[in-house]
Amino acid sequence: MNILGIETSCDETSGAVLCGGRVCSNIVSSQRCHEIFGGVVPELASREHERLIVSIVDTALAESNITKNELDVIAATAGPGLIGAVMVGLCFAQGMAYALQIPFVPVNHIEAHIFSPFINEGAGNSVPEGAYVSLTVSGGHTLLAVVAPDLSYNVIGRTLDDAAGEAFDKTGKMLGLPYPAGPVIDKLSEKGNPAFHLFPRALTSRSQSSKSWQGNLDFSFSGLKTSVLTWLQQHSPEFIEYHKADIAASIQDAIVSVLVEKTIEAANSRNIMAVSIAGGVSANSALRKTMKEACDKEGIALYLPDAIYSTDNAAMIATLAELKLSRGMNAEHRYNVAPYASFAAGAKKG
Ligand code: KG4
Ligand code: ZN
């Protein structure tokens, strides 16, 4: 089966072709026009997707050596995301599927992240046979779920306020770092001391109200943001500049330690022996390293997407469509944009 995937939910325009479960091309264009604003400007994102979508899809097809007439299915992100941005990819994909008279599969962006460790399933990268705990951490979501082998899942924890990626981006902005600050903090932290300052770890064994954390798999990062702001206001610009890498490493440590502690707690409390991490923040080197060490200690298997599939990409959209179709779920011909799509959304059972 040849599947074209399209992703335009935020500030990446991406097209990918999956042939027999393997990625034959995955073209991602990250919009630079938002940098001067320190965050994504929705209207600019839509216009940029509109400008690029045809050439991205053409390039994805050319690189895969598949012509559009050889496509069997087209899949696109239907939400959650910025409504105008999602609409560009979704309408383009539905129009193209209609013109080619082939099925269209709407894909939930967060579900696609959840299954991104299993991109290239056709090359033997299989979904585990038993249940596993999935941590999905992106710019807009922080989610813990137990995933069953039939691809159904239960959400067992989520952020009560900011997402983990948002915590990286906003504290990084306070430090004067460019958007998105997550990868910059990651790089800067390599030279910093994570124990330089202990920023708060809300709802964990190290939070002040430690009794209330036990068994609580929800996250909260807004207190970290306030704490970083207050701490920065109490120190001189020269001191901050001198210790930039130490501060970055301390912020990163606060975020990563919470993510790892709760993921391991979720697996241990349910006797689950496999864990996966996905979403933009799963590219973080400290998160990958700390989670691997924690999983090894507990004898838990860890599944990670390749770094190129951590952040937004169309290969994960095509992959989820393929996984669902291969398990007998139906394609649909028309679908409306769902900016706040629920986590239970997706193709129906056939
Ligand atoms: O999944 P994604 O590409 O887009 C959304 O669906 O949100 O995630 C983007 C987020 C941003 O907040 C970005 O700062 C963060 O992922 N991110 C990272 C790293 N790479 C991307 N955060 C920490 N370390 C990284 N290496
Ligand atoms: Zn994403």
Among 86, 177, 311, which is best to mutate for testing ligand 1, by the most ligand atoms less than 8 A from CB? 311
Residues 6+ apart with CB under 8 A from 139: 10, 163, 165, 166, 169, 180, 182, 280
Identify the nearest ligand to the CA of 289 by its number: 1
Distance CA 196, CA 328 (A): 53
For ligand 1, the distance from its centroid to the CA atom of residue 279, given in whole angstroms, is 7
For ligand 2, the distance from its centroid to the CA atom of residue 236, given in whole angstroms, is 36
Q: Please indicate whether residue 179, judged by its CB atom, sits closer than 6 Å to ligand 1.
A: no
Res 334: pLDDT: 57
Distance CA 334, CA 344 (A): 18
Q: pLDDT tens, 299-327?
A: 999 999 999 999 999 999 999 999 989 88
**All domains of the chain in start order, with CATH:** 2-115+309-348 (3.30.420.40), 129-304 (3.30.420.40)
Q: Please indicate whether residue 258, judged by its CB atom, sits closer than 6 Å to ligand 1.
A: no
Q: Please indicate whether residue 165, judged by its CB atom, sits closer than 6 Å to ligand 1.
A: yes
Nearest-CA residue for atom 24 of ligand 1: 284
Q: pLDDT tens, 8-60?
A: 999 999 999 999 999 999 999 998 888 888 788 899 999 999 999 999 999 99
Identify which of 147, 115, 142, 154 has the alpha carbon closest to the alpha carbon of residue 131.
147
Reduced to 3 states (helix: H, G, I; strand: E, B; else coil), residue 139 is: coil
Res 149: pLDDT: 87
Res 88: pLDDT: 97
Q: Please indicate whether residue 140, judged by its CB atom, sits closer than 6 Å to ligand 1.
A: yes
Residues 6+ apart with CB under 8 A from 60: 4, 15, 16, 17, 25, 26, 27, 314
Amino acid at 33: C
Strands (E), 81-223: 104-108, 132-137, 142-147, 153-158
Nearest-CA residue for atom 20 of ligand 1: 183
Q: Please indicate whether residue 180, judged by its CB atom, sits closer than 6 Å to ligand 1.
A: yes
Q: What angle do CA 218, 221, 226 make, to 5 degrees?
A: 150
Q: Which contacts (CB < 8 Å, 24+ apart) does range 203-211 have?
A: 203/258, 204/257, 204/258, 204/261, 204/262, 205/261, 206/257
Residues of the chain with pLDDT under 70: 122-124, 208-214, 330-350
Q: Both tokens of residue 159?
A: 């952020």
Res 328: pLDDT: 80
Distance CA 339, CA 267 (A): 31
Res 347: pLDDT: 32
- Give the bridge partners for 27, in sequence order: 15
Res 32: pLDDT: 86
Res 343: pLDDT: 44
Of ligand 1's listed atoms, the one at least distance from the Cα of 181 is: 14
Res 301: pLDDT: 95
Identify which of 10, 111, 113, 17 has the alpha carbon closest to the alpha carbon of residue 63.
17
Res 39: pLDDT: 80
